[in-house]
């Protein structure tokens, strides 16, 4: 059966919100007369989330579910959801009821009728404390500058994608924050954003602390490096190595000319500070070259990167 829409919901210990969320989604999508599936990815929850998903599926055959044996993280959950989704349009949203299902029809329309590759939600009026909103604004400003993608809320969980986009990208580690950037490097350039509602948290507590902003910046530099130099690391390391070696040899030439022509009676070259600066620069430059060679030899596409221990599957036909 052709499916118009797949709604992927990664979750971790969100049992209180799942029934209300699935009912809300079902009401909105049924009104739009779309054939759909809800794909719950239980990321190793320790509460009754998986049992709740099983109960919900008994009353709604459009619900599918998958449960990891342990907590792998949001990127792993999204990547598995992308692989298993069958809809023409893919929408991701969080399970905590802070993302509004009422946004689904417009997001679907922007992908299906307006032709965007990705529509990213923008929680312009955030219902979060200043301890989250201020670091988030800083994080998004830096991300816009580095990535060149003009999104106000890169990490918003509410996003819509063409199916071809999610089938041609790989999300791992903590890279879910940068799916638009990953898609851009994969050749999907038609990216926009939409202002979406942001609800106050109704149940539970946030699963993310301030450390995610530190990790977020590190991940940004990682994904930027992989996008630009993942297939040609020698271009980066070789260039740096060449520059540093040139600096080292320049120092050697300088102290050699100075010794031979201007200060013949001065102290030995090996006793001069410039000599050790030059020697260190040459050694560092060679190490950059070695890093480049190793980068060329090692494949970043490890076959084990996205292999997860799956405990159970629910209502998948294949």
pLDDT tens for residues 159-178? 999 999 999 888 887 788 88
pLDDT tens for residues 299-317? 555 555 555 657 677 887 6
pLDDT more than 90, % of the chain: 44
| pLDDT reading at 27 higher than 90 | yes
309's tokens: 């221990």
Q: How far apart are CA 73 and CA 279, in angstroms?
A: 45
Site of tokens 């990953």:
182
Q: How far apart are CA 283 and CA 291, in angstroms?
A: 12
Which pLDDT band holds residue 65 (cuts at 50, 70, 90)? very high
Residue 199 CA, distance from chain mean position? 23
Q: Is 46 exposed, middle or buried (0-12, 13-18, 19+ CB in 10 A)?
A: exposed
Q: How far apart are CA 175 and CA 198, in angstroms?
A: 23
How many other C-beta atoms are found inside a 10 Å radius of the C-beta of residue 123? 22
pLDDT value of residue 300: 57
pLDDT value of residue 210: 57
Question: What is the mean predicted confidence (pLDDT) over 264-268?
Answer: 65
| pLDDT reading at 48 higher than 90 | yes
May I ask the CATH class of domain 3-229? alpha beta
Q: Report phi then psi at 4, rounded to 5.
A: -75, -40
Contact (CB, 8 A) for 266 and 225: no
Please count the residues of the chain.
318
Q: How far apart are CA 140 and CA 70, in angstroms?
A: 30
Q: Which has more pLDDT, 67 or 131?
A: 67
User: DSSP characters for 70-135?
Assistant: S---HHHHHHHHHHH--EEEEEE--SSS-B-GGGHHHHHHHHHTT--SEEEEE-SS--S-HHHHHH
Q: How far apart are CA 238 and CA 98, in angstroms?
A: 47
pLDDT value of residue 37: 96
Instruction: Identify which of 222, 92, 100, 141 has the alpha carbon closest to the alpha carbon of residue 133.
Output: 141
Instruction: Identify which of 30, 47, 33, 34 has the alpha carbon closest to the alpha carbon of residue 6.
Output: 34
Q: How far apart are CA 26 and CA 37, in angstroms?
A: 9
Residue 171 CA, distance from chain mean position? 6
238's tokens: 């070789």
H or E element, residue 42: strand 36-42
| pLDDT reading at 266 higher than 70 | no
Q: Is 80 exposed, middle or buried (0-12, 13-18, 19+ CB in 10 A)?
A: buried
pLDDT value of residue 137: 77
pLDDT tens for residues 173-218? 778 888 998 888 888 989 999 999 887 777 666 655 556 666 666 6
| pLDDT reading at 224 higher than 80 | no
pLDDT value of residue 222: 72
Task: Please calculate the CA angle 39-44-48 and round it to the nearest 5 degrees.
Answer: 80
How many other C-beta atoms are found inside a 10 Å radius of the C-beta of residue 77? 28
pLDDT value of residue 208: 57
Contact (CB, 8 A) for 26 and 63: no
Provide the terminal-to-terminal Cα distance of the chain, rounded to the nearest Å. 13
Q: How far apart are CA 15 and CA 296, in angstroms?
A: 46
pLDDT value of residue 230: 62
Do the strands 63-68 and 36-42 form a parallel or antiparallel pair, or are they unpaired?
A: parallel
Which pLDDT band holds residue 292 (cuts at 50, 70, 90)? confident
Residue 195 makes CB contacts below 8 A (sequence gap 6+) with 121, 122, 124
Contact (CB, 8 A) for 225 and 240: no
Q: How far apart are CA 158 and CA 77, in angstroms?
A: 15
């Amino acid at each position: 059966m052709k499916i118009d829409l797949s709604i992927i919901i990664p979750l971790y210990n969100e049992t209180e919100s799942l029934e209300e969320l699935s009912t809300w989604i079902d009401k909105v999508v049924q009104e739009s007369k779309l054939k759909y599936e809800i794909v719950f990815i239980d990321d190793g929850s320790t509460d009754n989330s998986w049992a709740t998903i099983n109960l919900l599926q008994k009353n709604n055959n459009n619900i599918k579910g998958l449960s990891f044996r342990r907590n792998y993280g949001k990127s792993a959950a999204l990547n598995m959801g992308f692989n298993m989704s069958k809809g023409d349009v893919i929408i991701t949203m969080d399970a905590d009821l802070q993302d509004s299902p009422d946004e689904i029809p417009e997001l679907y329309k922007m992908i299906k009728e307006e032709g965007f590759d990705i529509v990213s939600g923008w929680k312009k009026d955030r219902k979060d404390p200043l301890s989250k909103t201020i670091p988030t604004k800083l994080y998004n400003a830096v991300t816009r500058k580095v990535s060149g993608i003009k999104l106000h809320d890169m990490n918003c969980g509410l996003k819509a994608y063409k199916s071809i986009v999610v089938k041609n990208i790989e999300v791992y580690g903590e890279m879910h924050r940068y799916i638009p950037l990953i898609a851009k490097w994969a050749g999907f350039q038609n990216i926009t954003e939409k202002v979406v509602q942001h609800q106050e948290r109704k149940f539970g507590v946030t699963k993310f602390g301030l450390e995610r902003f530190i990790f977020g910046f590190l991940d940004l530099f990682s994904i930027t490096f992989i996008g630009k130099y993942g297939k040609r690391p020698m271009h980066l390391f070789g260039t740096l190595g060449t520059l540093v070696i040139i600096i080292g040899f320049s120092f050697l030439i300088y102290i050699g000319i100075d010794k031979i022509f201007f200060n013949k009676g001065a102290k030995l070259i090996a006793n001069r500070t410039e000599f050790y600066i030059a020697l260190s620069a040459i050694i560092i430059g060679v190490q950059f070259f070695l890093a480049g060679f190793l980068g060329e030899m090692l494949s970043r596409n490890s076959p084990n990167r996205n292999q997860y221990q799956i405990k159970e599957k629910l209502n998948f036909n294949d």
